[in-house]
């Protein structure tokens, strides 16, 4: 069966439009309770800094309480912090209200199971099966209750610090931190300051509508300029819900998820602590694959989406994986992608080795790669003969010098056209050519 509402990272859309309405959120909570806690229990709800989070928080709370569940309200907290608190509080499920890197007009809802892990496709289908039914309301004596957890930030802060050596210090390291006016705006600066970093914090003044606006991991130009402007050693960019990480070296160069995954893998390889293969996605740069294999590290590609990277890591016995976007999985440290924890792992390597970010990624080439997001009015059949012929033509021209990847976004009406190869101009031209084919098919 095909999921109707759930995409690659929960349910997401424009606030006020189906499905992102308060009425839908209430029914969703009721459906989730039926599947994940049919006999009652506890739900944990956290959110990012979007103004619409208040509305969805109240609707979800009502749905869970009516279904007989107690609710712990965490307030603004990074997605991985909500995963941690779900497990820490022995809850039956966790809920994140966030549209991650999307603009403030959007919002989303995603779930964690009692272990702080994202739900399987099968569980999401079971939840969807109950969405067409009215929300349930138990008898008054069986209703749940709600309370706020005031210590959620401090608990997550101490968890994040526990993932690096106790003796680790960042005294004398000048860091620019961009929290994207998002969920990590309080906890991330506190953690880095506690480690002694000379910290310059930007993107830490959320007002409900400025999340991800001209800052954060999706708009890193401000961070790059600030790092160079203040003479920092490095920069850290998180996204709106704090599960993605990009970094900037002292020269203002951007290090994406591929660079960071390579850096982490190489350090573990050198120290003898690398377990299993490294897993990327179909969109991971070919330079990452070539460089890892040259160092004797197995590399596999999963479908795009951290849930699929996680599935492959479990199947292959690995601990390190991630996406170019900066959604990294370090499974011996946490259960889900965590921008702050991933940054701490990189910083611990910098502190231990005394090397700069430039030095740590110097031997990983990055192949020219062009991504074109083709926005479409409706779903496009990527198996259409014209599109398949276009892909075949490009693959024949590139041969073993590059790759072509065509995929529909799981979170927005966009077809992503990616072409990768050795020659930049050729890659750009081929990507534009295939994007035109997709636009023509979409236009009918």
Give the H/E segment covering residue 340. Answer: helix 339-353
User: At 23, is the secondary structure helix, strand, or coil?
Assistant: helix
Burial class (CB in 10 A: 0-12, 13-18, 19+), 394: buried
Decide: 118 and 310 in contact? Cβ < 8 Å.
yes
Instruction: Find where tokens 């409706």 sit.
Output: 378
Q: CA–CA separation, 91 vs 89, rounded Å?
A: 5
Q: What token pair was written down for 130?
A: 């109950």
The residues annotated as belonging to the active site are 100
Residue 229 has what DSSP assignment? H
Provide the pLDDT for residue 130: 96
* Fold designation for 171-254: Alpha-D-Glucose-1,6-Bisphosphate; Chain A, domain 3 (3.40.120)
Q: In a 3-state reduction of DSSP, which class is residue 8?
A: strand
Fold exhibited by the domain 369-443: TATA-Binding Protein (3.30.310)
For residue 10, count CB atoms less than 10 angstroms from its CB and return exposed for 0-12, middle for 13-18, buried for 19 or more.
buried
Adjacent-strand bridge partners of 44: 72, 94
Pair 429, 417: CB distance under 8 Å: no
- Tell me, what's the pLDDT at 1? 61
Q: What is the DSSP letter of 408?
A: E
Closest CA to 243 of 118, 367, 57: 118
Q: pLDDT 10s digit of each residue in the chain, 444 long?
A: 678 899 888 999 999 999 999 999 999 999 999 999 999 999 999 999 999 999 999 999 999 999 999 999 999 999 999 999 999 999 999 999 999 999 999 999 999 999 999 999 999 999 999 998 999 999 999 999 999 999 999 999 999 999 999 999 999 999 999 999 999 999 999 999 999 999 999 999 999 999 999 999 999 999 999 999 999 999 999 999 999 999 999 999 999 999 999 999 999 999 999 999 999 999 899 999 999 999 999 999 999 888 899 999 999 999 999 999 999 999 999 999 999 999 999 999 999 999 999 999 999 999 999 999 999 888 888 999 999 999 999 999 998 788 999 988 876 789 999 999 989 999 999 999 999 999 999 987
Report how far residue 236's alpha carbon sits from residue 249's, in angstroms, rounded to the nearest whole number.
9
Q: CATH 3.40.120.10 in the chain: give the residue spans.
A: 11-151, 171-254, 256-360
| Cα(262)–Cα(246) distance, integer angstroms | 13
Q: Which CATH class is domain 11-151?
A: alpha beta
CA dihedral 193, 241, 183, 234 (to 10 degrees): 30
Cis preceding linkage at 19, omega within 30: yes
DSSP assigned state of 261: H
Q: In the CATH hierarchy, which fold is given to the domain comprising 256-360? A: Alpha-D-Glucose-1,6-Bisphosphate; Chain A, domain 3 (3.40.120)
pLDDT at 307: 87
DSSP letter, residue 400: G
């Amino acid at each position: 069966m095909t999921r109707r509402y759930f995409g690659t990272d929960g349910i997401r859309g424009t606030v006020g439009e189906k499905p992102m309405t308060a009425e839908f959120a209430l029914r969703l909570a009721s459906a989730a309770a039926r599947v994940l806690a049919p006999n009652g229990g506890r739900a944990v709800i956290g959110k990012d800094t979007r103004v619409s989070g208040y509305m969805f928080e109240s609707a979800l709370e009502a749905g869970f309480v009516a279904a007989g569940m107690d609710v712990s309200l965490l307030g603004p907290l990074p997605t991985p912090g909500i995963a941690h608190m779900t497990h820490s509080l022995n809850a039956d499920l966790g809920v994140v209200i966030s549209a991650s890197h999307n603009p403030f007009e959007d919002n989303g809802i995603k779930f964690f199971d009692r272990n702080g892990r994202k739900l399987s496709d099968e569980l999401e289908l079971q939840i969807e099966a109950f969405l067409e039914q009215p929300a349930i309301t138990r008898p008054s004596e069986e209703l749940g209750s709600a309370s706020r957890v005031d210590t959620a930030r401090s608990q997550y802060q101490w968890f994040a610090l526990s993932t690096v050596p106790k003796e680790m210090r960042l005294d004398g390291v000048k860091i620019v931190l961009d929290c994207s006016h998002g969920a990590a705006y309080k906890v991330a600066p506190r953690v880095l300051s506690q480690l002694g970093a000379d910290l310059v914090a930007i993107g830490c003044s959320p007002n409900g509508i400025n999340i991800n606006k001209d800052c954060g991991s999706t708009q890193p130009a401000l961070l790059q300029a600030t790092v160079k402007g203040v003479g920092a050693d490095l920069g850290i960019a998180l996204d709106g819900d704090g599960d993605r990480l990009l970094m900037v070296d002292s020269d203002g160069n951007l290090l994406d998820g591929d660079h960071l995954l390579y850096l982490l893998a190489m350090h573990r390889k050198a120290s003898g602590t690398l377990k299993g293969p490294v897993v990327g996605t179909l969109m991971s740069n070919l330079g990452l694959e070539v460089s890892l294999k040259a160092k004797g590290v197995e590399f596999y590609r999963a479908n795009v989406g951290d849930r699929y990277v996680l599935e492959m890591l479990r199947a292959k016995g690995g601990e390190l994986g991630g996406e170019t976007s900066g959604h990294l999985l370090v499974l011996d440290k946490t259960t889900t992608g965590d921008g702050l924890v991933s940054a701490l792992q990189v910083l611990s390597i910098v502190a231990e080795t005394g090397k700069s970010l430039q030095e740590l990624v110097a031997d990983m080439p990055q192949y020219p790669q062009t991504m074109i997001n083709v926005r479409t009015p409706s779903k496009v059949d990527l198996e259409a003969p014209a599109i398949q012929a276009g892909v075949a033509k490009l693959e024949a021209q590139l041969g073993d010098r590059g790759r072509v990847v065509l995929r529909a976004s799981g979170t927005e009406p966009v077809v992503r056209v990616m072409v990768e190869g050795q020659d930049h101009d050729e890659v750009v031209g081929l990507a534009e050519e295939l994007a035109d084919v997709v636009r023509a098919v979409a236009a009918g």
